[in-house]
Amino acid sequence: MKVVMVSKACVSGAYQTKLEAIGQTPDIDLTVVVPPSWGEAGGNLTLESSHTNGYRLQVEPIRFNGKHHLHYYPGLPKLLRDIKPDIVHMDEEPYSFVTWHGMRHARKAGAKVLFFSWQNIYRDYPPPFRWIEQKVLAWSRYGIMGNAAADQIWRRKGFTGDSMVLPQFGVTPSLFTPRGARSAAQFVIGSASRRLNPEKGVDLILRAAARLPGNWQIKIAGDGGARAELEKLADDLSIKERVQFVGKIGSEDVPAFLRQLDVMVLPSRTLPTWKEQFGRVIIESMACEVPVIGSDSGEIPNVIGDAGLVFPEDDVDALYEHLYMLQQSTAAREQLGKKGRAWALANYTQSQIAGKTVAIYHAIMRE
């Protein structure tokens, strides 16, 4: 079975372990199309060719780089004609031009098509994106949904194919490993996101931690427009010397960052145009046996399950109570850390997600 996957997300080296797992399936001949880089508000993501065994990583020039709705690969039609795939997996949202463009030429090549979506807020797009969306939904035999809300939204918009709620990527247990015994001398609180935007709620961590007693530190990974405001807030709260802004970290460096922590906090807040779609750092932290605290924004409670702590959005008091409890109890941290790793390994490994993706391919081909 020849499969072509088109995915800008796979410029990240850490994400490519899923591709290796798919490519190791005996009857799957996998080609993955990626751009040389992808532009983000927080900076440019350059292709990391870190895990490329068992499949072909095809680098194609991209137009309108960084434009989620508009980008596409001008060389994709020829590539599809040459490969003649059985399935084209557009690892992109249904409203994006790249998905319509890829599916249109995939169908010309005789391939069956499917899409992936994180979309968890209902939006009425203007033309031409409304038309793009309708065509993609009509063409698609299968949809992979990153969260339960996405499935509901696309059904509401008319999607009638089969679907599965399955995150785009999981964790590799051999990379995301526990650090072992932790020192009780200092309680280290962590936050990690690519962009330090207001919706990530990092200010809540500063406000809650400022009330903690004893020896503690905050490590904040990521960069973006809100960093200056967060630095000022830390100064205003008189905790500036306890807060370390480490900037952006590469995908391959995330495990080492997480192993420095005693707790990871994802305090996302829902805005009219955004709510947390998954929270990948949750499962990465869990795999490293780092206890997790998350707000109840979007998909976070479902991802955490009963293997972490959840608090109401914007509730500084509730976040403080969780932090204080974990700060005071090494046993609670160890117990929650082990429970989290067990949960992540039982539900969110790259091999599990790859296996379920391959099962979708087989289901499509049987029909």
Residue environment code for 298-331, b if the CB has 16+ CB neighbours within 10 A, otherwise e: bbbbebbeebbbbbebeebebbbebbbebbeeee
Question: Quick one: pLDDT at residue 44?
Answer: 81
Question: Quick one: pLDDT at residue 281?
Answer: 96
User: Which is it for the CA torsion 282, 153, 162, 28, positive or negative?
Assistant: negative
CA–CA dist 221, 244 (Å, integer) = 9
Question: Quick one: pLDDT at residue 42?
Answer: 57
Q: So what CATH class is 187-347? A: alpha beta
CA–CA dist 30, 215 (Å, integer) = 51
User: Domain 2-170+349-366 belongs to what architecture?
Assistant: 3-Layer(aba) Sandwich (3.40)
Question: Quick one: pLDDT at residue 224?
Answer: 81
Question: Quick one: pLDDT at residue 41?
Answer: 62
Contact predicate 154/2, CB 8 Å: no
Low-confidence ranges of the chain (pLDDT < 70): 41-43, 182-184
Question: Quick one: pLDDT at residue 359?
Answer: 97
Which helix (H) or strand (E) is 263 found in, with range? strand 263-266
Within the chain, which residue ranges are assigned CATH 3.40.50.2000? 2-170+349-366, 187-347
Contact predicate 272/161, CB 8 Å: no
Neighbouring-strand partners of residue 87 = 3, 112
